[in-house]
């Protein structure tokens, strides 16, 4: 067999293998990015559940505090007005502020997770596109090499 034909066959084979390898890399990049995005979305769900549980615990604790304040006020024989009433109102207002802060922090973290998922997908798509381009470059380069060797 002619050495130029052997070299051309080797170049063609290398080009096809490069093409297939880069296509596989593109597919893997998409799969990894989708997996990472799903993880971020799942973390967001868990985060929102944790924040809801945190808020619920805060409200239960506040209800116990308000009940204790009512009992202690009633036990002392003082009417629920003036300073005791202000203390109870303060308990409720502080609970609402703390609950709003928990919700706000949860919303910020949830948006960060959504952004993380979007970034993972965008990065994966960019890598996949880059690998697709490399695949076609490999194929075209191999075709050029074969043409040069046979030509």
Round to whole Å and give the CA distance between 39 and 51.
Answer: 18
Q: Please, are residues 16 and 142 in contact by the beta-carbon 8 Å criterion?
A: yes
Average pLDDT, the chain: 91
Does position 6 have pLDDT exceeding 90, yes or no? Answer: no
Is the pTM value of this prediction over 0.85? no
Burial of residue 91 (CB within 10 Å: 0-12, 13-18, 19+) is middle
Domain boundaries, the chain: 3-150
Write the pLDDT tens digit of every residue in 96-106: 999 999 999 99
pLDDT at site 104: 96
């Amino acid at each position: 067999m002619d050495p130029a034909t052997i070299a051309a066959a080797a170049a063609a084979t290398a080009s096809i293998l490069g093409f297939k390898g880069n296509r596989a890399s593109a597919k893997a990049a998409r799969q990894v990015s989708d997996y990472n995005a799903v993880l971020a979305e799942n973390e967001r769900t868990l985060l929102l559940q944790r924040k809801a549980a945190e808020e619920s615990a805060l409200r239960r604790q506040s209800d116990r505090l308000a009940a204790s304040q009512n009992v202690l006020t009633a036990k002392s024989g003082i009417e629920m007005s003036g300073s005791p009433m202000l203390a109870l109102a303060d308990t409720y207002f502080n609970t609402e502020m703390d609950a709003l802060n928990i919700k706000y922090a949860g919303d910020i973290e949830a948006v960060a997770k959504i952004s993380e998922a979007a970034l993972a997908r965008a990065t994966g798509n960019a890598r996949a596109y880059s690998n697709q381009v490399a695949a076609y470059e490999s194929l075209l380069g191999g075709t050029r090499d074969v043409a040069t060797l046979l030509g």
